[in-house]
Chains A and B, each alone.
Chain A
Amino acid sequence: MSSKRWLRGAAGALAVVALTAACTSGGSGDGQSKAQPQATYKVGMIGTDSGGTPVKGGTLTFSTYTEAGLLDPAQTIVAGSTGGIEMAAVYDVLLRWDSASGEVVPQLAKDMKASDDNKTWTLTLREGVKFSDGKPLDAEAVKWSIERYVDKGGDDAMLWKRNVEAVETPDDLTVVFKLKKGWADFDFMLTGGLGMIVAKSADAGKEFKPVGAGAFTFGSYKPKEEMILNAREDYWDGRPNLDKIRITYIADPNAALDTLKSGQTQVGFFRDPLVVQKALDAGYHGFMNMVALGNVAVINAAKGRPGADARVRQAMFHAINPDVIYQRAYSGVLQGSSEIFPSFSRWHTGTKPLAYDPDKAKQLLEQAKADGFDGKIKYLDAQDPASQATALAIKAMLESVGFQVELDLVRTPTDQITRVAAKRDYDMSGWGLSWREAGPYGRMFTTLHSEGNATVGMATTPEMDALIEEFQGAATPEEQRAVMARIQEQWNKDVPALVFGPMPEFVAWPKTVHGVEGTVNSMILLDDAWIGQ
């Protein structure tokens, strides 16, 4: 009898432990029914830096989930999630975006000024700035690095070629950019990859070597393990406070948050909305970026596809309630929105998007069916839990108004990119257009202009092309916002994609970390960072 009691006790204990573990597990796929409080999401710094006297020394360990083994801004997407933070530490940036003022301000460069017509931009460099190989960072070096970036087809290369007529270097400290037409936000181009100046010696050997004029130098890289950046004694703004930056790769966002809480890391990059919410709840400071159009379904408008008919695209838009998608995929920690730029954004205009209106959707669909459309559509997405939940919610909502939806969930992001971007073999697909809060023109052009290289088959129209060009030429933020309102109106007519809402990117750190600056594309600058007690 007593042995039976032992067995019952052991089984009971095991069940309790297993249940506890199941209840405490995290991730996108869990807790679908959990009611989470709505967070206050905003673009910019979260928490106030208490300041104090900078502490010299120490290693700042930063965890991220993707690794950029090649720190070449011309060959890597320059964003916080893809090595942008490491590259900013090694190369610095000529200009940076100040999230508080919304202005572009000098960083490595001394000044950037536009002519009255915004067609000529003059960049003035600081005196005495040197690369870590000892060579001067002068006008010729800037020109060479930009030409290298464009030749290698960096992310903004096409935009650059389309707009920049000539780059002149009248003296060692001046670079003049002559544009084909006025562009009030041209300075944003130098806040990212084009503004990360690569030294000539980086290309001198057989393999690329990251050599820049930033506060840190490349130390070592072990794939899937870590990268070490060392402080530079001769940085133009004085030796940085930190001795080293150690970048470590942790794929599981919950594990990354645990390591931050344990003090094993001091900075973490998060983009899973559930984990972002946990980090905010835990009171971490940080830099938040809300990626507009970060969660959309692109519609293939090529001839022969269901989306070729504007009524079908509009019917789909009317049939989708984005809140349902965010509730299913992210437990409602974030609000869905059909607007291009929701209320968090300085580009929010108040112009209404197409409303969630199932009756209107049915009407439009009936019209399309009367003209021969069979109502069938395939939805392509990935297989991660959030994508699966999104796909099921879309299927349910579209079928409720009369569509017949077949789900096509592919195994890897590469498969999805191949189908959508390379082969355009899809009807509708989960995607991210990622219009940037700091300067949206670049992504607007590449994703929605008929000459853009990332339209992936979406509907483009001469009217939208004209509006995008008008936005580029608008001289003031007020004028730009006015054009943005008309872009929303045009979007309502064209419906190139279904809009579900923005996605957060949060670079989090504890209160003991000071002196961090946020900039474009969820990047942070660490040249003044220090770790206090």
Chain B
Amino acid sequence: MARKTIRRLGELVLVLLIVGAGTFALMDLMPGDPAVVVLGEGHTEQEYAAKREEMGLNDPISVRFADWLASAVTGDFGVSFIPPHHEVSGRIAAALPVSVELAALGLLMALVIAVPLAMWSAYHAGGRVDRLVSAGTFGVLSLPSFLAGMLLIMVFANGLGWFPRAEWVRLSESVGDNLYHAFLPALTIALVEAAMFTRVLRGDLIATLQEDYILASKAKGMPPVHVLVRDALRPSSFSLITLLGISLGRLIGSTVIVEYLFSLPGMGTLIISAADEGDVPTVQGAVLVIALIYVLANALIDLSYGYLDPRIRRAHV
């Protein structure tokens, strides 16, 4: 187990190095001049050239990457090109909790919706409710998240006025207000994720319910809830947990549309606005942090398999 953990950590470092180098190279290839971003328009070519020199942009890319990496490993991603030139790590520290909370709440809502639905569908596979759930999940999966968000806004914010249309309140300021502002965006995320989880878990549960030990459990007279929750759910959760890990990493950086629709100050907004403004250090730092979360989440998921199935744990002893 320890060997496996060390190997996973090594892979993690390698992945981060590749992501960091890739992002750095891509940002370098992007059109747009960082000197123009910093100085703005209306300056002479000499002034732009001097700024490029000052920013070290005339150094070879390998030198610049090495400098950046040396700082990045200490958590220093430099300062934003955009006034008031805040430290990138500070901007990430402000945006990350928003995205993490949104992703976590969205996934939690998705699980609350998906697990009972999947269990019901699997237990009554082929029945009317199962077919309705299948059709419903297909429908939701085919619904783009921007459309789902707009529908929720139209009904619950603009129509009924139950939830705010935009903005964000920090958890540290007010838990109630925070949840009130987070509910609709999280639900927008949850809808698609719930549909995906339901389909995956339903399929695995149907397979598990064919196992002999389930038959034995039923033969012993165990009620359906016991069979489903105690006997079938845990061994059917591998795909769901894998999906959960991938979703967590993916959602933290890719809730751009939801963040835009609801004007939320998360990582998606940070990266997109930084890319639009040509704020290279912010994009590089934010992408690296998301990659770190992504690989960490997936490493933890891999390690959790051993807990879920003792056979896997023993195989690595």
- Show the binding face of A for B, using Cβ within 8 Å: 2-3, 6-7, 10-11, 14, 17-18, 20-22, 24-25, 68-70, 72, 75-77, 207-208, 222-226, 248-252, 255-256, 258-259, 261-262, 264, 410-415, 417-419, 421-423, 446, 453-454, 456
The docked-state distance in angstroms from the alpha carbon of A70 to that of B151 is: 37
Given contacts A264-B167, A414-B37, A415-B31, 14 further A-B contacts (CB under 8 A): A69-B86, A75-B83, A222-B265, A223-B91, A248-B167, A251-B273, A258-B157, A258-B158, A264-B165, A411-B31, A415-B32, A418-B36, A422-B33, A422-B35
Tell whether, in the assembled complex, residue B33 and residue A418 are in contact, meaning their CB atoms are under 8 Å apart. yes
Residues of B within 8 A of A421 (CB): 36, 41-42
The docked-state distance in angstroms from the alpha carbon of A21 to that of B156 is: 13
Chain A residue at minimum C-beta to C-beta distance from B44: A453
In the complex, which of the residues B41, B94, B166 contacts A454, with contact meaning CB atoms closer than 8 Å?
B41
Tell whether, in the assembled complex, residue A18 and residue B143 are in contact, meaning their CB atoms are under 8 Å apart. yes
B136: Cβ under 8 A from any A Cβ:
yes
In the complex, which of the residues B167, B261, B276 contacts A259, with contact meaning CB atoms closer than 8 Å?
B167
Tell whether, in the assembled complex, residue A422 and residue B132 are in contact, meaning their CB atoms are under 8 Å apart. no
Binary contact readout B147-186 vs A (1 if CB under 8 angstroms, 0 otherwise): 1001101100110010011111000000000000000000
Tell whether, in the assembled complex, residue A69 and residue B31 are in contact, meaning their CB atoms are under 8 Å apart. no
Q: A70-B83, A223-B265 are in contact. Are A6 and B132 (CB under 8 A)?
A: yes
Tell whether, in the assembled complex, residue A24 and residue B154 are in contact, meaning their CB atoms are under 8 Å apart. yes
Chain A residue at minimum C-beta to C-beta distance from B48: A422
Q: A17-B151, A75-B83, A422-B41 are in contact. Are A252 and B277 (CB under 8 A)?
A: no
- Show the binding face of B for A, using Cβ within 8 Å: 30-33, 35-37, 40-45, 48, 82-86, 91, 94-95, 128, 131-132, 135-136, 139, 143, 147, 150-151, 153-154, 157-158, 161, 164-168, 260-263, 265, 269-270, 273, 275-278
In the complex, which of the residues B48, B84, B161, B166 contacts A69, with contact meaning CB atoms closer than 8 Å?
B84
In the complex, which of the residues B43, B84, B94 contacts A208, with contact meaning CB atoms closer than 8 Å?
B84
Q: A418-B32, A418-B36, A422-B36 are in contact. Are A412 and B263 (CB under 8 A)?
A: no
Chain A residue at minimum C-beta to C-beta distance from B263: A250
Q: A255-B261, A417-B36 are in contact. Are A3 and B150 (CB under 8 A)?
A: no
The B interface is mostly helix, strand or loop, or mixed, namely helix
In the complex, which of the residues A262, A410, A417 contacts B165, with contact meaning CB atoms closer than 8 Å?
A262
The docked-state distance in angstroms from the alpha carbon of A24 to that of B158 is: 12
Tell whether, in the assembled complex, residue A223 and residue B86 are in contact, meaning their CB atoms are under 8 Å apart. yes
Tell whether, in the assembled complex, residue B275 and residue A446 are in contact, meaning their CB atoms are under 8 Å apart. no
Chain B residue at minimum C-beta to C-beta distance from A222: B94
The docked-state distance in angstroms from the alpha carbon of A160 to that of B164 is: 46
Tell whether, in the assembled complex, residue A224 and residue B43 are in contact, meaning their CB atoms are under 8 Å apart. no
Tell whether, in the assembled complex, residue A224 and residue B273 are in contact, meaning their CB atoms are under 8 Å apart. yes
Chain A residue at minimum C-beta to C-beta distance from B150: A21
Q: How far is the CB of B86 from chain A (nearest CB, A)?
A: 7
Residues of A within 8 A of B40 (CB): 77
The docked-state distance in angstroms from the alpha carbon of A3 to that of B270 is: 46
Q: How far is the CB of A3 from chain B (nearest CB, A)?
A: 5
Task: Please list 16 pairs of residues, one from A and one from B, whose beta carbons are closer than 8 Å in the complex, sorted by A's number.
Answer: A3-B128, A10-B132, A10-B135, A11-B139, A69-B82, A69-B84, A70-B84, A76-B83, A223-B94, A251-B263, A255-B262, A259-B165, A262-B157, A262-B164, A414-B276, A415-B32
The docked-state distance in angstroms from the alpha carbon of A6 to that of B35 is: 61
Residues of A within 8 A of B273 (CB): 224, 251
Q: A224-B273, A414-B277 are in contact. Are A251 and B260 (CB under 8 A)?
A: yes
Residues of B within 8 A of A68 (CB): 83
Residues of A within 8 A of B30 (CB): 415
Chain A residue at minimum C-beta to C-beta distance from B275: A412
Tell whether, in the assembled complex, residue A225 and residue B157 are in contact, meaning their CB atoms are under 8 Å apart. no
In the complex, which of the residues A2, A24, A223, A250 contacts B166, with contact meaning CB atoms closer than 8 Å?
A250
Q: How far is the CB of A423 from chain B (nearest CB, A)?
A: 7
In the complex, which of the residues A11, A21, A75 contacts B154, with contact meaning CB atoms closer than 8 Å?
A21
Tell whether, in the assembled complex, residue B32 and residue A3 are in contact, meaning their CB atoms are under 8 Å apart. no
The docked-state distance in angstroms from the alpha carbon of A411 to that of B32 is: 10
Q: How far is the CB of B62 from chain A (nearest CB, A)?
A: 24
